[in-house]
Amino acid sequence: MKRKHRRLLILVACLAGLGVATGLTLAALRNTLVFFLSPAQVAAKPPPPGQMFRLGGLVLKGSVRHLLKNGHPVNDFTITDGKGSVPVVFGGVLPDLFREGQGIVALGSLQPDGRFVATEVLAKHDANYMPPDVVAALKKSGEWRPSQGEPPPAASWDFGVKTKAGPATRGG
Amino acid sequence: MLPCFKPFGLQTTGSLLYRTAVDATVSPPRPRGWHRFANPGQFLRLAARVTPPVAWAGGILTAVGLFWGLFIAPADWQQGNAVRIMYLHVPSAWLASAGYMALAACAVASLVWRHPLADLAAVEIGPVGAAFAALCLVTGSLWGRPTWGTYWVWDARLTSMLVLFFLYLGHIALIRAFDDPQRGYRAASILALIGVVDLPIIHFSVQWWNTLHQGNSISLTSAPKMYIGMLAPLMVSALGFTLLFAALVLARLSAAVMERRTRAVLLAEVRSA
């Protein structure tokens, strides 16, 4: 065996070992590397009251209420993931993207009564990129509403939104 | 001239510097296949021809892609005009990862075949890749503030990208840290190969874990989740960035090879005097 072949073999062996080690480490860290817990995870294994953690999910439709408590504005809403839901109280300023059906991540802790008191709310953006006129056209044609979740694939409206009644149109 | 140069029509380029450079080397048995590109003289000839068109094409495509993205492409229905940062952010993120992959390839060529050109390439790729990684982090942070509501969070995607930036910085420092450059090349190669584990972590972080960063809009296995009027300028911009990256590395590497040649010639003159 030539020396360069031996070096290549040693290198491949080392890299394979490194890959396996990394894979095992990541598998072991799988649960602790999570940036946020979903409502279902919280329901299955609730963190002790007072412990700070991040809660992520969608803002439940129709759950947002802007209240005044002791003269301070407070936002009341529910975070859901379809399998579970957690009521949230937040006294700060909501991000621009906050709306019903939007994915958000809230930092805070559970109260003994089961409500989640947030100190920070971040909006999560999804992987879909759409111009406003396409969204308007999809809404108009009844094809999709933002509260329904994932929009139809881009290829279906890239060159115009097909309405059930007539030919393809863009804009609304 | 060597017969293997002929397919490229490179025998016409023959400045005095190149000839001196070629004459200054002791030629080992001529390598075949991909290995012939590891010959510094061969590389200089190829780079002299390839660099100007690559640089021009990269500059023009980047300008077109950015103008298209920043001024013509539509705003996003949720993010508004903040989405335009994407035309800088996404190509720099891809290039930062691709550049590190290139560093790893150089490391293999250096450790296994002891190609001196691979060592020089590793020296020159490092700062370019680090610049793209920094651009990715800065633009991402500026996008995160209006969209998420924060400049930075320690989620898996952002953290693994920051780790990549630090890997670049470590590589840049390590490869220059020894009086004997060979020891630096060896150490930096090992660092580059160990750091490769970060690349799949960056890519799959948004699938493996709950992250604040959104998932991949563009992938090889599924349809794009992006309006084609945004996707097209993004692709043009990414292609432009890629060519600019290649042109930067080619120019830096050519300069490094010539610098080394010049030093060898000067040393030989000093010794003979």
Q: What is the CATH number of the domain that holds B247?
A: 1.20.120
Residue B225: what pLDDT? 87
Least confident of A136-150, B106-120, B132-146: A136-150
Residue B22: what pLDDT? 46
Pairing of strands A85-90, A116-123: parallel
Cβ contacts (< 8 Å) between B211 and chain A: which residues?
A: 35
Cβ contacts (< 8 Å) between A36 and chain B: which residues?
A: 210, 212
pTM of the shown model? 0.82
Q: Tell me, what DSSP letter sits at residue A98?
A: -
CA distance B62 to chain A (A): 21
**pLDDT greater than 80 at residue A1:** no
List the single best residue of A15, A32, A35 to mutate versus B (max B Cβ within 10 A): A35
CA distance B158 to chain A (A): 11
Whole-number Cα distances in Å, B117 to B35, B36, B109, B245, B254: 11, 11, 9, 18, 10
Burial of B271 (0-12, 13-18, 19+ CB in 10 A): exposed
CB A168 within 8 A of CB A161: yes
Question: In terms of pLDDT, which residue wins out, B246 or B5?
Answer: B246
Q: How confident is the model at residue A13 (pLDDT cuts 50, 70, 90)?
A: confident
Whole-number Cα distances in Å, B131 to B73, B96, B136, B245, B264: 26, 8, 9, 10, 31
Residue B162 in domain? yes
**In the predicted model, what is the mean pLDDT of residues A4-29?**
84
Residue B10 in domain? no
Residue B185 in domain? yes
Question: Range of B205's domain?
Answer: 43-259
Place of tokens 């070629």: B22
Please count the structural domains in chain B: 1
What is the distance between the alpha carbons of residues A113 and B54, in angstroms, rounded to a whole number?
Answer: 64
**pLDDT greater than 60 at residue B38:** yes
Residue B13 in domain? no
The predicted-structure confidence for B49-67, as pLDDT tens digits, reads as follows 999 999 999 999 999 999 9
Residue B111 in domain? yes
List the single best residue of B78, B114, B221 to mutate versus A (max A Cβ within 10 A): B78
Q: Closest chain B residue to A105 measured between Cα atoms?
A: B212
**pLDDT greater than 70 at residue A29:** yes
Q: Closest chain A residue to B208 measured between Cα atoms?
A: A30
List the single best residue of B206, B227, B235 to mutate versus A (max A Cβ within 10 A): B227
**In the predicted model, what is the mean pLDDT of residues B245-250?**
96
Residue B99 in domain? yes
| Of the candidates B67, B56, B34, the residue with the CA atom closest to the CA atom of residue B246 | B56
Q: How confident is the model at residue A133 (pLDDT cuts 50, 70, 90)?
A: confident
Q: How confident is the model at residue B27 (pLDDT cuts 50, 70, 90)?
A: low
Residue B9 in domain? no
Out of A11, A30, A124, the one facing B212 most closely (by C-beta) is A124
Q: How confident is the model at residue B84 (pLDDT cuts 50, 70, 90)?
A: very high
**In the predicted model, what is the mean pLDDT of residues B228-248?**
95
**pLDDT greater than 70 at residue B4:** no
Cβ contacts (< 8 Å) between B231 and chain A: which residues?
A: 154
Whole-number Cα distances in Å, A14 to A8, A17, A114, B185, B194: 10, 5, 50, 18, 9
Q: Does A139 touch chain B (CB under 8 A)?
A: no
Q: Tell me, what DSSP letter sits at residue A153?
A: P
Residue B151 in domain? yes
Residue B15: what pLDDT? 41
Contact between chains at A122 and B83 (C-beta distance less than 8 A): no
Q: Does A137 touch chain B (CB under 8 A)?
A: no
The winner for highest mean pLDDT among A148-152, B2-6, B106-110 is: B106-110
Residue B32: what pLDDT? 65
Long-range CB pairs of B20-26, under 8 A, 24+ apart, other chains included:
B20/B261, B20/B265, B21/B257, B21/B258, B21/B261, B24/B261, B24/B264, B24/B265, B24/B268
The predicted-structure confidence for A69-111, as pLDDT tens digits, reads as follows 888 888 899 999 888 899 999 988 888 788 888 889 999 999 9
Q: How confident is the model at residue A34 (pLDDT cuts 50, 70, 90)?
A: confident
What is the distance between the alpha carbons of residues A101 and A60, in angstroms, rounded to a whole number?
Answer: 6
Q: Does the interface ipTM go beyond 0.90?
A: no
Which are the contacts of A104, defined by CB distance < 8 A and separation ≥ 6? A56, A57, A58, A59, A79, A95, A98, A121, A122, A123, A124
Q: Does B150 touch chain A (CB under 8 A)?
A: yes
**pLDDT greater than 60 at residue A33:** yes
Identity of the residue numbered A96: D
